[in-house]
Copies of this chain bind each other. A is one copy, B any other.
Amino acid sequence: MENIIREGDDVLLYLDKRRSYLVRIERQKRIHTHKGFIDLTGLIGREFGTRIHSNKGVEFIAFKPTIRDYIFKISRRTQIIYPKDISLIVFFSGIEPGSRVVEGGTGAGALTAALASYVRPSGKVYSYEIRREFLEVAAENLRRIGMIDYVELKNRDLTEGIEERDVDAVILDMATPWLVVPHAYEALRGSGAFVSFSPTVDQVVKTVEALRQYGFAGIETFESMFRGMQIERGRTRPETLMTGHTGYITVARKALK
C-alpha cells in the first residue's frame, strides 16, 4: 500500500493522546487548532508519519488514520461503541475476508466500518437501520473511510425479518436483540455466529432465552473491562479514569434442527 499523502487523503494530525484532528488534505487549506494553525499543503507528497509544525511552532504528527481513529471520531458525535467491544465482537463472530454479515442497527456506521474492513474485498456487510437520518450519516462516514463498497445499507426493521440467507454472522447492537433471534436463525448458515451487544442485564436474559428456544448452541455472555496504564519510571500506575461498563456481549452459533 502506498504510504504518501495525496490530495483528498485523510490525515490524523496527532498532538497527544487527548488531542488529534482528522482532516482531509486539500491545497490551500489551513486547519486551526488550540496550538495554532497548520497549512495542509505542506503535507502533500510527504510520507504518512511525518512531523509538521503549526505556525506557533507546536509539533503534530500526520498519521494515516486507522479504522479505530475513524471510529473514535465518529463515536464522539453519536452513541458510543468502544474499541474494546468492537474488537471482541469482530473476533468472536469469526468473520474474515469474504464473510457475509448482517448487522443491525447501523447507527453512525462505526461497527459497520470495522466489519467491512475485515470482510473486504470479497465479503459484504448488510446493515439494517430503521432511522433514515442515521443511514445518511453512516453512508457519509463509510464513504469517507473507504468502506462503502463493501456495505449494503438497508432502511428496514431487522425485527421484522432478514432478507439474506446463508450468512456467516448476524451482529446486533440494538435495543431489542431477542426479537431478531428467530430471523437470525433463518438467515444464518449452519454453524454461523450470532453476536449481540447490550448494556443491560435484562436485555441479555431475554436474548439468551430466545437463543436457547430457537436452537442456538455455544451460547456465552461476557463483558470486558479496559483500563489504561500510566507508564513513567518511578511513577507507573493504572489510570484513575476508567469506563466502568459499556455492555455485555452475547455470542452463539446456529445448530441445525
Contact = CB atoms under 8 A, between A and B. Distances in A.
Interface in A201-238: 201-202, 204-205, 208-209, 217-229, 231, 233-238
Interface string A59-97: 001111011100000000000000110111011101011
Of the four ranges (under 10, 10 to 19, 20 to 34, 35 or more), the interface on chain A belongs to: 35 or more
Contact of A231 (B97, B192, B204, B224): B204
Contact of A243 (B229, B237, B242, B245): B242
A226 B225 CA distance: 6
27 contacts: A1-B99, A3-B166, A3-B189, A49-B192, A49-B254, A50-B255, A50-B256, A67-B94, A67-B96, A68-B94, A90-B90, A97-B118, A200-B236, A208-B231, A209-B233, A219-B231, A220-B228, A221-B231, A223-B227, A224-B225, A224-B226, A225-B225, A225-B227, A227-B244, A237-B245, A239-B245, A240-B246
Interface of A: 1, 3, 14, 17, 47-51, 61-64, 66-68, 83-84, 86-88, 90-92, 94, 96-99, 114, 117-118, 120-121, 166, 168, 189-193, 199-202, 204-205, 208-209, 217-229, 231, 233-246, 248, 250, 253-257
